[in-house]
Amino acid sequence: MKNIIWIVIDTLRSDMLASCLSETAVYNEIDEVIEQGILFTDVMTSGGSTRISAPSYFSSLRPGLTGMIHHGVQTIRNFKDDVLTVTEHFKYYGYQTFRWDDSSLDSCQPKRGFDVFESGYPTLEHTPHRNYDNDRRDAFIARVRQSKKPFFVNFHLDYIHDFGGNQKTSWTTNEYLKVVARQAKDFKALWDKLAPGPDDIVVVTSDHGCVLDENYIEYDKSMPWGFANNKTRVFASFIAEGLTPTKKHELIRSIDIAPTLLDLALGKEMNAQGVSLKSALQGGPVPELIGISERNVSFDVTGITDYACVRKQNWAFYFHKGAPMALYDNSEGTNVTDHMGEGLPVEEELLTFYKELVLEGPQTATELYEQTGISLSDIRTEIEASILLPVFSWSEETRLCIDALLDQILNTELILLDADSSGEVEKEVKTKYSNRLYIRHVEAKDLPLPMMLNKGLELAKAPFTVTATPDCQYTENFCYSLREMFLAKTDTVLSYPNIKRLISDNREMEYIGNDDCFDELMFSRLGSIFEHKTATAAYSLPHFNEVGACAMFETETMRNAGCFSTSTTDFLAKTWHKLNRLGRVRHVNKGLVISKDRTILRPVMPCPENEHDTKISILVPLNGIADHKLLPMFLTMLSKQTEKSVEIILLNQTADTAIITALAKNFPELKIRKINRTGEFHDLLNSGLYAAKGEYLFWSDVSDKLLPTCLTVLVNQIDGKSNVTAVKCGHFLQNTSNSANDVQPVGQVREMLCEVCDLRGLLYKRRLHNDVGIFRTPNDNEQGWDMSVRLALVKPFELIEEPLIIASRTFQFNMQPSIESYHRILRSSISSMGNTIDLVRLYEDDFYRHRADQARYILEDEMMLTLELINKSGISSGALLRVPKAHVTK
């Protein structure tokens, strides 16, 4: 079996190539290559954009049957489940299948059937040296050539497309030809590295053309039915051993390419609407063909489109909602004279073709396949990943979540576990997704969440299962990238992703594409990401579920491990902990999950938080005999707090425990627990974290004096408020002369980068450690500082400026920060922001109040001062700088 190499050069008109008889173009490297094969100079595409034409030529179906019949990005999610692609055919026959797109923005090619689905940088501007011939593409080519099977690979080249996208209203023919010349050099670089040989069959073509020398935005508004040759006439060259180079000027269609490749390689039929040109390539006549292009102006999925054009040679017949509209002779120019109604024989011929193909023909791919004698089960491979999605109610966020999970790269099934007693979820699913084949609605009313997931696990068909939460959206490579970890490292038992959190977005768009696409379209403007420390995530399970709600595991491994834990307290953490005993938990450092929740950095399931027997856990480290002597006064003070729902955890770092035990007996009214741990200080602090049972945590120095109402005032500011995660009060710092300085609290990370801070006076939700992890700085002098920064990165602290504490030590726990401590804090902060000096993140609250462009203008001076402060610190972080991109909002 021969390899198949399909190269698509985006936005390349055939009349702009010298080899295709252009009177304007200069001979270039593309001409040089395509003249080595059988070159068709007149190929009609199925639409004037990649989003319409690509699914059509991959499936060999007219656009009305694919579901993708609009130029907008949202049309990608309309690709129909019952459509078979040529990729799936080749995979069925034993090929390894690869896809490459120079740009990592939204994926216009159908995803099903691809084993490897990769792309480069978001745009040419993001590439090294403004060159698509770069390291990522080289690595992909090497991966293709290392395939141990015959391969099918599709390359999509974006050099011309990128420049077209940068034209605000129009570009001239001269400008276009200069860009084509640059694309030609890029194409030749790809060609030389691919080095096609006798075992390869190659086709080089384009997906659509473009409008030149006029305002293409106004052109589209005034002529949404415009399927003129400038948009839909391209070329195709078939290059293979045994094919004699020649040129053919008869009309063929882009939907004929896939059947031809399948026939050339395997002698198999695709049973779709295109025809194989194998006979013509072997010297026979080119069949007399009529092409069709279609388009909808809305996102509605209809078999009969808003506009259509059928073409035979130079004659183009236009239709509007199935009715004849106009007949043009393209040899006269673009849409010059309407000849409809003149009684020309070609009008009747084209009308008959349209009626038979569209009006009276199959309205779905399923109907067509029934006529041609194939079914999905004949060709489509098995489900590769099962997605478990518990849903408790219906909302717009639920729809967005489901849409994203139905648009995954792998062959997936979505097991929707419906716990909604109102019946609205079931109604919406049946209404909105009645034509989707791979969503399974499962009744799960009155079941606790662990039992819901176990029910889904029992039904899962795929070798891999992934959990998802309806409170988030997902990139198209969510499942694909999680599975890559299992394929790369065989000891993996659980893989989980980063989360990206939106700060602000008032544009009417959905987050479609992979993680790189989301970075460019949204995250680079007003979003935030955080580096996750996978080592501590596995270490701290099951105390803190740093993994979160979204993770992938092998289905049989989970079943053999006893399925999901049915514990009433953080069952997911205990479940992941079970798997952690069987292998490695691995973090995928990509933002595959998208959330709008300001208060989380890890995805969570939409279930009520655990009931807590205790409101506050007060954690008190004791470093030695001096601290032991202060303990009686400290416990007496705590006994007078007006907040009574507290537990006191004494963290003893010395071997002497008798005095603590004796003292505790003197305060029977207090709930006191003791933890003894010698060794590293951060291990002592973490042992307290693990032991704490309170809903909120409060770290106290044994030398501090708390006003009787201190805890009550703090808890009143946070209790029952979902948008508040931590609250901090001021304190009096009493010096040796018994005078006191009023120390104001700080709540923003950017403030913590300017002055030393600690955990004094901070009351915060214990669950935040699911997001930020545990104490990990080995140096005792910045434990509280480092943790304060990480907690504030979740959300800035609410502040109570009133002093509620009297302190005799400058910093808690005898911290003695140094300049080295400051440098470590800076590095840790930058690392936590994704190795980025993220000015958007540091000024997040300001961006909530303003548009990106306004906020950037207002805050520019202050942001630059923060950047200058970091630069003057002298640390070498190697970090990126991220500032907001201004964009137009509605």
Residue 887 has pLDDT above 60, yes or no: no
**Structure tokens belonging to residue 105:** 């923005």
* E strands in 385-535: 385-391, 412-418, 439-443, 464-467, 473-474, 492-502, 527-529
Amino acid in the structure at residue 196: P
Looking up residue 656, the CATH number of its domain turns out to be 3.90.550.10
Out of 230, 261, 289, a domain closes at 289
Centroid of chain to Cα 158? 21
Phi, psi for residue 415 in degrees, rounded to 5: -95, 100
Domain membership of residue 57 as a residue range: 3-289
| Residue 525: predicted pLDDT | 62
| Together in a domain, 487 and 515 | yes
| Together in a domain, 553 and 622 | no
| Together in a domain, 664 and 560 | no
Residue 308 has pLDDT above 70, yes or no: yes
Can you tell me the mean pLDDT for 518-547?
76
Pinpoint the alpha helices (H) of 530-597.
534-540, 555-560, 571-580
| Together in a domain, 459 and 419 | yes
Determine which of 56-70, 253-267, 533-547, 574-588 has the lowest per-residue pLDDT on average: 533-547
Task: Report percent pLDDT > 90 for the chain.
Answer: 67
Q: Is 374 contained in some domain?
A: no
Out of 595, 629, 644, a domain closes at 595
Which pLDDT tens digit goes with each residue over 362-405?
A: 999 999 999 999 999 999 999 999 999 999 999 999 999 999 99
Q: Return the exposure string of 195-206: e unless at least 16 CB atoms fall within 10 Å of the residue's CB, then b.
A: ebeeebbbbbbb
Can you tell me the mean pLDDT for 535-556?
90
Phi, psi for residue 447 in degrees, rounded to 5: -95, 140
Distance CA 312, CA 296 (A): 22
Determine which of 580-594, 619-633, 700-714, 727-741 has the lowest per-residue pLDDT on average: 727-741
Name which of 105, 110, 888, 847 is nearest 508 in CA terms. Answer: 888
| Residue 394: predicted pLDDT | 96
CB atoms within 10 A of CB 347: 17
Which one is predicted more confidently, 696 or 163? 696
**Structure tokens belonging to residue 293:** 């292009």
| Together in a domain, 778 and 869 | no
Distance CA 555, CA 486 (A): 12
| Together in a domain, 172 and 34 | yes
Q: Is 600 contained in some domain?
A: no
CB atoms within 10 A of CB 365: 21
Q: Is 106 contained in some domain?
A: yes
Task: Report percent pLDDT > 70 for the chain.
Answer: 94
Residues in a beta bridge with 308: 294, 319
Banded model confidence at residue 835, pLDDT cuts 50, 70, 90: confident
| Together in a domain, 649 and 587 | no
Which pLDDT tens digit goes with each residue over 60-90?
A: 999 999 999 998 888 999 999 999 999 999 9
| Together in a domain, 196 and 258 | yes
| Residue 778: predicted pLDDT | 67
| Together in a domain, 662 and 516 | no
Amino acid in the structure at residue 755: E
Helix (H) or strand (E) holding 42: strand 38-44
| Residue 364: predicted pLDDT | 96
Rounded to two decimals, what is the model's pTM? 0.93
Can you tell me the mean pLDDT for 587-596?
91
Can you tell me the mean pLDDT for 16-25?
92
Q: Is 312 contained in some domain?
A: no
Distance CA 527, CA 884 (A): 9
Which one is predicted more confidently, 818 or 101? 101
Are 287 and 302 contacting, i.e. CB atoms less than 8 angstroms apart?
A: no
**240 φ/ψ sector (left φ>0, alpha ψ -120 to 50, else beta):** beta
Residue 169 has pLDDT above 80, yes or no: no
Banded model confidence at residue 890, pLDDT cuts 50, 70, 90: very low
Distance CA 664, CA 128 (A): 64
| Together in a domain, 797 and 841 | no
Tell whether omega for the bond before 542 is within 30 degrees of 0, i.e. cis. Answer: yes
Q: Is 226 contained in some domain?
A: yes
Can you tell me the mean pLDDT for 404-431?
96
Looking up residue 41, the CATH number of its domain turns out to be 3.40.720.10
Banded model confidence at residue 746, pLDDT cuts 50, 70, 90: very high
Out of 231, 260, 289, a domain closes at 289
Residue 875 has pLDDT above 90, yes or no: no
| Residue 41: predicted pLDDT | 97
| Residue 659: predicted pLDDT | 83
Can you tell me the mean pLDDT for 126-143?
94
Helix (H) or strand (E) holding 50: helix 50-59
| Residue 888: predicted pLDDT | 33
| Together in a domain, 777 and 806 | yes
Read off the DSSP letter of residue 520.
I
Per-chain mean pLDDT for the chain: 90
Q: Is 795 contained in some domain?
A: yes
Q: Is 640 contained in some domain?
A: yes
Q: Is 357 contained in some domain?
A: no
Residues in a beta bridge with 391: 418
Residue 467 has pLDDT above 50, yes or no: yes
| Residue 864: predicted pLDDT | 79
| Together in a domain, 838 and 759 | no
User: Could you give the 3-state DSSP secondary structure of residue 271?
Assistant: coil
Determine which of 373-382, 575-584, 821-830 has the lowest per-residue pLDDT on average: 821-830
Domain count, the chain: 4
Are 79 and 110 contacting, i.e. CB atoms less than 8 angstroms apart?
A: yes
| Residue 738: predicted pLDDT | 67
